[in-house]
DNA sequence: CTGAAAGCGCTTACAG
DNA sequence: CTGAAAGCGCTTACAG
């Protein structure tokens, strides 16, 4: 009743262990006929190579690693990551790869985990999220020789594959839409300032503000949580000449901002237009439903997994840009109630 | 620059490989003095035992497995699981255990994954979610000899540890509160009917309806998604004598239900009171904020991990019941607008 | 209390 | 094209 080993298969097929290994791994060294006989025997016995043994012998562990950086006080994880993981898993499962997940509370832990993985035969490669400009993890991964794919903007150093879309295009779509509705004062509730994609969005926003001659274009940074989004909203709306539209860097904060506006007695979209970046179910569920920058997050995950798997197969790819997020207009945006005519 | 092996440590400490292994694993067979010398040498070299090698030699892999059953069309994962995973990880990291995550699209896949894990030296034990009455996975796990902890109500068969709280108590708290406010017609938007904890909640609800002589107490089942919660809400509110209060089996559906009610022209809580089971940030964020059955989901995760780790250490525990969810009243509940006086 | 040896289940040069 | 052998880095009886 114990599990069949490669020796059992070899005996059943009347060949040596080595031949079985070659046959199973699709290597040259066995004739087509014996290969078929071996595969049939393996199948009949329900043989699956032991991962630990494979890994120890230097073969791929068929496992990829993902660390998630969550400061201790942040409970749970954003919808973004859940969808991302769904997408990753969908692709990895197809190829019989496992996902090793590790949450860390600080950045040093994260590189420590990479080092352990790299030395441990634990994972064949890693997926890297929440990239910083000049991210300290990337040199560590290179030093370890651990294949990696970045889920985020293509990192400055180059040399590592990445999957991301053009956030500048998406932001432009949202802001031009708001301007077309008559908004001239547009605020942004941004995420964590260190993150590379936050920087990209900020630069794009500054450009747009200049190009479109916005009256004001304030940005407030947050840690992506609902409460912090609420705080930022209060701050922006409390200004002397407050924005008439707010673009949020995630859905959770947009929902929080919506509630804040309503508490302050503002109607949405009458007094304030709200746009969410990322379109999780909650955007459709609140009232009014939120205009959102919609993208297929699970697709990022699938693409990232494909890219990593490709590089594990020795097929290098340097970067893939996926479809940018596009605007899905809903009930939370409209022209400002007392819009002044364009100057 | 390659990683130190146990032989390096042995050489550095001037002992045999076996002695190092004993010292590192806290086994008898080395004197206290040599143990210390060995540990110091290991530390100095930054030695960590290779997981694959350990696993292959029959020692614990220091990894636990979690499968998540997600039908293909369900994108993403509920907030519940994210918080649960946070809690699991918090505990596992402390003990240097890794979490192997695997999403599956159907139940057969799930047992197949268990079988692979069981034979593969991949995990030392598993965490089981979404338990059914008479769950087919439990016999498989027993057959495999894979230690398991159920996150959910204590399963009928016994023999396996479980972590859960008394949902009947929580539901009673919510329903009695609504009755005290004057509600006599209370509906329930329930989760997936097969799940053991859904059954428990339904039984408790039926009991309460009888005991408190509710005028009506309809239940509508869902798949936990926002859209399905919206559908259930429409159905329940469309009845001849619709409920004046609705209790939802998760937060996502409660938020969706809130939006449906508002679309139907009902005010919350004036015309309809809404209670959510589980209290994620989104409950506080929507307007009005949702009255919720609050529980510490991450604590479930921590407890479950502790229990599994204990059973891996040979310390058996049969079940732990954690603090029940308690009601957090917020703005979404009030007396019914046109409540009839109690009969 | 310690050392030398076998073995976990694979993979991979290396001879035939 | 195939077989016998070494080795991956550990753990664990087993002699000393």
pLDDT at residue number A71: 66
- A331/B contact by beta carbon, under 8 A: no
Closest in A103, A120, A298 to B75, CB measured = A298
Q: Which of residues 207-226 of A touch B (CB under 8 A)?
A: 225-226
A102-123 mean pLDDT: 85
Answer for the pair A91, A310: CB distance below 8 angstroms, yes or no: no
Domains and CATH numbers, chain B: 6-56 (1.10.260.40), 63-165+297-324 (3.40.50.2300), 167-294 (3.40.50.2300)
B-chain residue closest to A109, CA distance: B93
- B230/A contact by beta carbon, under 8 A: yes
- B71/A contact by beta carbon, under 8 A: no
Q: DSSP assignment, residue B314? A: T
Half-sphere exposure of A114 (CA within 13 A, CB side): 25
pLDDT tens across B144-165, in order?
A: 888 999 999 887 766 788 999 9
Residues of A in contact with B76 (CB under 8 A): 79, 82-83, 86, 280-281, 298
Tell whether the model's pLDDT for residue A342 goes beyond 50.
no
Tell whether the model's pLDDT for residue A343 goes beyond 50.
no
Cα B91–B96–B97 angle (5° rounding)? 70
Helix (H) or strand (E) segment spanning residue B176: helix B167-181
Tell whether the model's pLDDT for residue B178 goes beyond 90.
yes
Cβ of B98 within 8 Å of Cβ of A255? The answer is no
Q: DSSP assignment, residue B140? A: H
pLDDT tens across B284-311, in order?
A: 878 889 999 999 998 999 999 999 999 8
DSSP secondary structure of A256-286: HHHHHHHHTT--TTTT-EEEEES--HHHHHS
Amino acid whose CA is nearest the C1' of C5: B18
pLDDT at residue number B158: 64
- A289/B contact by beta carbon, under 8 A: yes
Cβ of A89 within 8 Å of Cβ of B83? The answer is no
Residues of B in contact with A63 (CB under 8 A): 100
Q: What distance in Å separates residue B197's CA from the closest CA in chain A?
A: 22
- B58/A contact by beta carbon, under 8 A: no
DSSP secondary structure of B180-240: HHT--BEEEEE--TTBHHHHHHHHHHHHHHHHTT-SB--EEE--S-HHHHHHHHHHHHTSS
Amino acid whose CA is nearest the C1' of C11: A57
Cβ of A252 within 8 Å of Cβ of B282? The answer is yes
Answer for the pair A239, A272: CB distance below 8 angstroms, yes or no: no
Closest in A81, A121, A280 to B52, CB measured = A121
B112-140 mean pLDDT: 88
Bridge partners (DSSP) listed for residue A148: A126
The sign of the CA dihedral A27, A28, A30, A35 is positive
pLDDT tens across B215-236, in order?
A: 999 999 999 888 899 999 999 9
Cβ of A259 within 8 Å of Cβ of B286? The answer is yes
Q: What distance in Å separates residue A51's CA from the closest CA in chain B?
A: 6
- A94/B contact by beta carbon, under 8 A: no
pLDDT tens across A278-317, in order?
A: 998 788 878 889 999 999 998 999 999 999 999 888 777 6
Q: What distance in Å separates residue B298's CA from the closest CA in chain A?
A: 8
DSSP secondary structure of A285-340: HSSSPPEEEE--HHHHHHHHHHHHHHHHTT-----EEPPPPEEE--TT----TTPP
Report residue B127 CA to chain centroid gap. 9
Answer for the pair B86, B298: CB distance below 8 angstroms, yes or no: yes
Q: Is the CB of residue A15 inside 7 Å of nucleic acid strand C? A: no
- Higher per-residue confidence, B64 vs B122: B64
pLDDT tens across B247-286, in order?
A: 999 998 999 999 899 889 999 999 999 999 999 878 887 8
Distance CA A258 to C1' C5 in A:
71
pLDDT confidence band for A214 (50 / 70 / 90): very high
Q: What does the alpha-carbon distance between residue A199 and residue A253 come to, in Å, rounded to a whole number?
A: 18
Disruptive mutation site among A286, A289, A297 for chain B (greatest number of B CBs within 10 Å): A286
Phi and psi at A166, nearest 5°, equal -85, 100
Instruction: Find which nucleotide's C1' atom is closest to B16's CA.
Output: C3
- Find and list the nucleotides of strand D having atoms within 7 Å of a protein beta carbon: 1-14
Cβ of A103 within 8 Å of Cβ of B121? The answer is no
Q: Which of residues 243-282 of B touch A (CB under 8 A)?
A: 252, 255-256, 258-259, 262-263, 280-282
The winner for highest mean pLDDT among A31-35, A218-222, A336-340, B13-17 is: A218-222
Cβ of A52 within 8 Å of Cβ of B50? The answer is no
Disruptive mutation site among A264, A282, A284, A301 for chain B (greatest number of B CBs within 10 Å): A282
Answer for the pair B337, B270: CB distance below 8 angstroms, yes or no: yes
Average pLDDT, chain A: 88
The CA-atom distances, in angstroms, between A331 and each of A185, A200, A335, B101, B300 are 19, 28, 11, 38, 38
Answer for the pair A161, A318: CB distance below 8 angstroms, yes or no: yes
A327-337 mean pLDDT: 95
- Find and list the nucleotides of strand C having atoms within 7 Å of a protein beta carbon: 1-14
- A17/B contact by beta carbon, under 8 A: no
Helix A6-13 with A32-45: angle, nearest 10 deg: 120
Tell whether the model's pLDDT for residue B44 goes beyond 80.
yes
Q: What distance in Å separates residue A81's CA from the closest CA in chain B?
A: 8
Tell whether the model's pLDDT for residue A81 goes beyond 90.
no
A1-18 mean pLDDT: 84
Cβ of B99 within 8 Å of Cβ of A101? The answer is yes
B-chain residue closest to A54, CA distance: B52
Helix (H) or strand (E) segment spanning residue B247: strand B245-248
Take residue A203 and report the two structure tokens written for it.
């630069």
Tell whether the model's pLDDT for residue A156 goes beyond 80.
no
Q: Is the CB of residue B71 inside 7 Å of nucleic acid strand C? A: no
Q: What distance in Å separates residue A243's CA from the closest CA in chain B?
A: 21
Q: Count of A–B CB contacts within 8 Å?
A: 161
Q: DSSP assignment, residue B316? A: -
pLDDT at residue number A285: 78
- A53/B contact by beta carbon, under 8 A: yes
Minimum mean pLDDT range among A109-113, B35-39, B313-317? B313-317
Cβ of B252 within 8 Å of Cβ of A122? The answer is no
The CA-atom distances, in angstroms, between A131 and each of A8, A155, B82, B288 are 47, 8, 21, 36
Tell whether the model's pLDDT for residue B138 goes beyond 50.
yes
pLDDT at residue number B338: 56
- B79/A contact by beta carbon, under 8 A: yes
pLDDT confidence band for A94 (50 / 70 / 90): confident
Tell whether the model's pLDDT for residue A233 goes beyond 90.
yes
Minimum mean pLDDT range among A10-19, A198-207, A280-289? A280-289
B-chain residue closest to A49, CA distance: B120
pTM: 0.86
Cβ of B256 within 8 Å of Cβ of A120? The answer is no
Q: In chain A, how long is the greatest CA-to-CA distance?
A: 87
Tell whether the model's pLDDT for residue A30 goes beyond 80.
yes
Q: What does the alpha-carbon distance between residue A114 and residue B244 come to, in Å, rounded to a whole number?
A: 54
């Amino acid at each position: 009743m114990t599990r069949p080993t490669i020796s059992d298969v070899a005996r059943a097929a009347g060949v040596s262990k080595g031949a079985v290994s070659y046959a199973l791994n699709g290597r040259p060294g066995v004739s087509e006929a014996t290969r078929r006989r071996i595969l049939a025997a393996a199948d009949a016995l329900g043989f699956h190579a032991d991962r630990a043994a494979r890994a120890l012998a230097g073969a791929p562990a068929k496992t990829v690693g993902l660390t998630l950086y969550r400061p201790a006080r942040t409970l749970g994880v954003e919808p973004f990551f859940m969808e991302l993981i769904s997408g990753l898993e969908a692709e990895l499962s197809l190829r019989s790869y496992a996902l090793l997940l590790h949450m860390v509370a600080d950045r040093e832990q994260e590189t420590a985990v990479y080092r352990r993985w790299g030395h441990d035969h634990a994972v064949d490669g890693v997926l890297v999220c929440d990239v910083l400009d000049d991210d300290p993890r990337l040199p560590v991964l290179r030093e370890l020789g651990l294949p990696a794919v970045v889920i985020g903007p293509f990192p400055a150093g180059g040399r590592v594959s990445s999957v991301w879309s053009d956030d500048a295009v998406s932001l432009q779509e949202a802001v031009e839409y708001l301007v077309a509705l008559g908004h001239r004062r547009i605020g942004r509730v941004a995420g964590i300032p260190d993150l590379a994609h936050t920087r990209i969005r900020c630069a794009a926003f500054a450009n747009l503000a200049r190009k479109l001659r916005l009256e004001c274009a304030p940005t407030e940074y947050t840690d992506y949580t609902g409460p912090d989004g609420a705080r930022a909203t209060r701050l922006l709306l409390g200004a002397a000449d407050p924005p008439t539209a707010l673009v949020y860097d995630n859905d959770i904060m947009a929902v929080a901002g919506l509630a804040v506006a309503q508490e302050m007695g503002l109607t949405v979209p009458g007094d304030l237009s709200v746009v969410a970046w990322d379109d999780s179910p909650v955007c459709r569920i609140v009232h009014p439903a939120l205009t959102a920058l919609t993208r297929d997050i699970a697709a990022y995950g699938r693409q990232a997994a494909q890219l990593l798997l490709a590089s594990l197969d020795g097929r290098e790819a340097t970067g893939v840009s996926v479809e940018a997020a596009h605007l899905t207009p809903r009930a939370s945006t409209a022209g400002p109630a007392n819009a002044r005519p364009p100057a």
